[in-house]
Structure 1
Amino acid sequence: MTSVAVHVVSLRDLDRVRGDAEPALPAADRAAIARRAHGRRRVQAQAARVLATAVAAPGSVNASHDQDFLVLAESPVACGVDVEDAAEDELLEVADRFCAAGELREPIPARGLWAAKESAAKACGRGLRAGLRTIRFDGDPTATWSAVDWPFGSGFLTRVLDLGDRHCALTVRAATPPRVRTRVWTPTTSGGRWTFVPATRPAGDPAHEVAAALSAFGGDRG
């Protein structure tokens, strides 16, 4: 069975602890991120790189973030993840940009469908340039693991979870639903650098709540 690990970080916790510390990254990486991202987006990009370094996964790694959380998926096979907290009304206004005619219907929410398509495009290595309108699924990915129906996505499964104020989608190259393990990481600072370490706090904080909800992908919490 294909396995996937999904790692969760609270970006709000990071804001509270990082202060004037720099991310625990080589100077070249920090400079490269600084050239292409500014303000909040720079911190989010730094966090994704730092978490990927902390996870130290040898396989496929893909990260996504919204305003509150960073989610990173890693697997021996190709995978893609998307977490989305945009308002449903905002996505409905631009639904024609990512949905084919008649594709958006009850009970599938626009936010869930957007997340599903973006995770599929990322897993297949195409990104948003692929044209999300062309990505379809053989079922409802908000209800069950569904095969990606797309010339570039043969052999991939997608699942979307409704977390209440956000959706998270996971796409994996697999023939059957994968085993998914979730893990929470805590931001910490030392020697003027910030990084992430495996969480040791008891469950109940927002990041643990997200990880608990993501366990519905199927598998274990770590």
Structure 2
Amino acid sequence: MSAALLAAVSGLGLGLSLIVAIGAQNAFVLRQGLRAEHVAAVVAVCLLSDVALIAAGTAGAGALVQRVPALLDVVCLAGAAFLLGYGVLAARRALHPATLVTEAAGQRAGLTVTVTTALALTWLNPHVYLDTVVLLGSLAGTWGEQRWWFAAGAGAGSAVWFAGLGWGARLLRPVFARPAAWRVLDAAIAVVMVTLAAGLVARVL
């Protein structure tokens, strides 16, 4: 195996291991996939954002984040506020089954609102900077001249994951044909969002 291919495969493995964990971004992509709502736009936003962050980390931006921790604290607080608000909305949907029935029947959020939410869940999440920019960027640096192959592998991992999550969610639609299933999903999303928000605040304090 050539050095470039080995670097790419290593980047692919690390990228997938970091991105597969359940989080705010993945929960949102899954929900949009289940509803078949602006899936291409959401997948594109998440993928392009990941690629940009991976490139930044590979180029050395991780060092800046480590040297100026106050930047990460600001992102933590902003992200916590957004996640808490999104969690409250998810909890509200879970507590009002009638709303779920209406949404399942076809009421769609606008493309601008959906894209803005996807951007916020990505760029206001400090974990993405720690995992993608700092950790992945630092490991990419260990590959020397092959670091961009490593970054390419990590980017490919993001593409596989988001595409699979977004469009693969359709396989679960028969389960979510029932309002009760949406209620459980939104309750789970609310718990994830609020837990992440609390964790971010605790990190700053």
Determine which structure has the larger helix proportion and give its number: 2
**Highest CA radius of gyration, 1 or 2?**
2
TM-score, length of structure 1 as denominator length? 0.22
TM-score, length of structure 2 as denominator length? 0.24
Choose between structure 1 and 2 for higher RCO, CA contacts under 8 A separated by at least 6 residues.
2
